[in-house]
Structure 1
Amino acid sequence: MTTAHSPLSFSTRIAHDADLHASFISGWQQDYAQLSCGRYFGRLDEVCTGRVQLFCEYASCETWQQCRPAPGRIWFGLPAPGSGASLRFAGQEVAPDSVLICPGGDEFFLRTPPAFTIGGMVVEQDLLEACCLVRYGHALPPLWRQSGSLTLTPVACRQLEQSLARYLDAARSQPEQLLSDKWQWQLADILLQALATGTHAPAKRRSHLGWVEQTCRWARVPDAPVASVDSLCQRLHVTRRTLQNGFHQAAAISPLGMLRALRLGEVRRALSSTQHAGQSIQDLALAWGFGSASQFGQDYRRQFGETPSQTRQAMRQDKQQANADALPAKIGITI
């Protein structure tokens, strides 16, 4: 899903569905899958000024996120302190006081823990290059503009977090100030000073992440046979123990746990879509490999905190409300 930029906007959006939540960040292509059980709650506070985009995002449940920032920019992510051992970026554990980096147009994968908050700064690369030349006398170093993570000093990380919070607060009260070149230059300069304290986290084997990516692709093919750990091992040419360990390292979840969560999520997406409004719940469940209607109903309710019928009814109510108000469904509160 992609949402377009506006010249200047500040918004707060609320979602009770991971798939909807994925559509919130302006200019990004994203897909979120809910991994843990329970009712989902997501929130995004975001300001877009043209050259700079700032946001703070919260998700109540564990998720698997596939994200692609807008081209021509660089994303810098700041996980909240104490995010936990299950946080993964690009299939790797994230050290405390880290900033996550991805250039626009590239794809990254994020595995988030429960009750997860992350701040985001998305800055035009040309602005960062110009600011770096003035402050340091050289071009933007490769480690500051390529996918990976930097571990900052604790002081620099806290200062960067405070700056992000301060600018988001200012956007609520005096958004017109955020359009000034001076403000955007100051923000870029603060970011570069923090990056200068960073040390690069060495990359580990990417094959584990590749196994997760391939499994996710298979899980999202409707009418495909329900996979087992043994069948995944055969297709990926690895042993059961190697596959289990690889999934734990790259995604902090078991292979079957990932398959189950993704397929339940696909059923939920179909139930929320007008395209499948004429199909029965049982037919949709069968299409995604759930042969027992009673077991599917139990699994679905445990995963999402509601029945499939409640999901479909909520979709219809949202559509009716959108038609009545001439606003997108479930957009939440926009300031």
Structure 2
Amino acid sequence: MLAQCLVFYDVAQHAEALQGWRQTYDQLGRGRVCTRLAQLSTPHVQVFREAINIRVAQCGSAPSGRFSLALSLASAGQSVSLLRGRQEFFVQTCTDSDLIVVSVDEQYLQLLSSQGSSLCSRACGASSLNLPPEYQAVLGRQLNALIQSGNCGMALTEKHAEEQALECILEVLERAVEHTRERGIDHAVSSYLVRRSQELALDCQQAPLTVLDICRHLRVSRRTLQRSFQQVAGVRPVEYLRAIRLNAVRRRLQQTAPTELSVAHAAVDQGFFHLGHFASYYKALFGECPSHTRRAA
């Protein structure tokens, strides 16, 4: 088992000290470089933490036959990067970057855990894993403690180190799958609320529903409805529902002749009773006045 803590004043030397990684580090930031590398390596597992005080361009490929996860300790909330064996990477670090990486032999992972094999397969093809920020902080502390225990003369066997690293990998994959599933469910609920809101708005054309009216119909809070619209459509509910009604007016104008239906009647039929406001909304959305919309012959 290899356990070491190193300091470098050259990024190329730092890159060469990382066992199993074929990579090149190029200094981008101005000034004197100072890097710190703490690593723990066994035949099946590698965990290291690297801190670099200036911006660096990193390019290379991950170790062959390894499943690797990289977590930024300097930028809380970022997704956890995932690399498969020999996968190429190109990263530009920020000033004062602080990264922790755990790399496990894929065959070892599959041999010890059928669950790990299944989770790895589900993660295959992804470049990052979304995890709650609070869990990322916990993960960072766990991996850092593992590195420190190997470098502080504590009685840490290879087997114990590998088991701890394996547990971290499995928990990360489990949390990522669970978090992705929860986000998917949340998005499905949001999509449903937006669709039902649209249906309600179109069903009540002559007396447009307010946001609070829709909340009462759907039995959700105003905050929930607003969050759903922001997630699905990127706009507030009132803006979205107004746009739906404006589109309905536009379709009617395009499908009818001026002699059949006036602009004013089309607007009122969709609940726009203040024609000045209606004309402003219409022009802002479609880039033309309602009277300039092409009508049927």
Following TM superposition, by how much is the alpha carbon of 1:141 offset from its aligned partner in structure 2, in angstroms? Answer: 3.5
* Amino acid of the structure 2 residue aligned with 1:115: D
For structure 1, the residue ranges without an aligned partner over 5 or more in a row are: 1-7, 84-95, 203-335
Q: Find the partner of 2:133 among 154, 158, 162.
A: 154
Number of equivalent positions: 180
Deviations 1:259-298 (A, max 9, x none): xxxxxxxxxxxxxxxxxxxxxxxxxxxxxxxxxxxxxxxx
Bigger share in helix? 2
* Amino acid of the structure 2 residue aligned with 1:102: L
Change (3 A) 1:137 1:64: closer
Is it true that 1:195 corresponds to 2:188 in the alignment?
no
Q: TM-score, normalised by structure 1?
A: 0.49
Change (3 A) 1:21 1:143: farther
Change (3 A) 1:42 1:201: farther
Change (3 A) 1:50 1:137: closer
Is it true that 1:75 corresponds to 2:56 in the alignment?
no
Change (3 A) 1:144 1:131: farther
Identify the residue that residue 119 of structure 1 maps to in structure 2: 100
Is it true that 1:34 corresponds to 2:21 in the alignment?
no
Identify the residue that residue 140 of structure 1 maps to in structure 2: 119
For structure 2, the residue ranges without an aligned partner over 5 or more in a row are: 181-297
Identify the residue that residue 110 of structure 1 maps to in structure 2: 91
Matches within 5 A, 1:1-335: 8-82=1-75, 96-133=77-114, 136=115, 139-146=118-125, 148-174=127-153, 177-180=156-159, 182-198=160-176
Contact 2:59 2:89 in 1 (8 A): yes
* Amino acid of the structure 2 residue aligned with 1:62: R
Change (3 A) 1:149 1:143: farther
Structure index of larger Rg: 2
Could you say what secondary structure the match of 1:177 adopts?
Answer: coil
Change (3 A) 1:53 1:146: farther
Could you say what secondary structure the match of 1:184 adopts?
Answer: helix
Following TM superposition, by how much is the alpha carbon of 1:20 offset from its aligned partner in structure 2, in angstroms? Answer: 1.8
CA distance in 2, matches of 1:106, 1:176: 34
Change (3 A) 1:137 1:32: closer
Q: TM-score, normalised by structure 2?
A: 0.55
Change (3 A) 1:123 1:77: same
Runs of 4+ residues deviating >6 angstroms:
199-202
Could you say what secondary structure the match of 1:56 adopts?
Answer: strand
Which fold has the larger relative contact order, with Cα–Cα distance below 8 Å and residues 6 or more apart in sequence?
A: 1
Contact 2:3 2:40 in 1 (8 A): yes
CA distance in 1, matches of 2:69, 2:143: 11
Percent identity, please.
Answer: 23
CA distance in 1, matches of 2:27, 2:177: 32
Change (3 A) 1:183 1:34: closer
Following TM superposition, by how much is the alpha carbon of 1:18 offset from its aligned partner in structure 2, in angstroms? Answer: 1.7
Contact 1:127 1:185 in 2 (8 A): no
